[in-house]
Amino acid sequence: GAVVSQHPSWVICKSGTSVKIECRSLDFQATTMFWYRQFPKQSLMLMATSNEGSKATYEQGVEKDKFLINHASLTLSTLTVTSAHPEDSSFYICSAHIVSYEQYFGPGTRLTVT
């Protein structure tokens, strides 16, 4: 099956700093990538949809200036959490969308803001 990687797998940062998370499709080109966040014991909540070469589309309630998404190529998308605060601590997961409409998920990144 299709493989999606994320880096880093976990990160701890101080309040006020920025953190960048990378999402790569390893063995296929993804037309679209999605970013989700997941709080403990809750399901995945879509944050934004990212298409290569164009601006990301953010879901209602997600601050686009705080969660910067760059989709540099068909195999790489990045999420930067700017001026992180403790309430941004969460599990961030990306997924890559291939032609058959199936989405394959990365292993996730655990962000802890102290």
Complex with other proteins: residue 11 or 46, whichever CB lies closer: 46
Residue 86, preceding peptide bond in cis (omega within 30° of 0): no
Q: ∠ at Cα 80 (79, 81), nearest 5°?
A: 120
Residue from 49, 70, 80, 89 touching other proteins (CB under 8 A): that is 49
**Kind and range of the H or E run holding 32:** strand 32-38
Residue from 44, 62, 68, 76 touching other proteins (CB under 8 A): that is 44
Residues that bind other proteins in the complex, under the rule CB under 8 A = 1, 4, 6, 32, 34, 42-46, 49, 91, 93, 95, 97, 100-108, 110
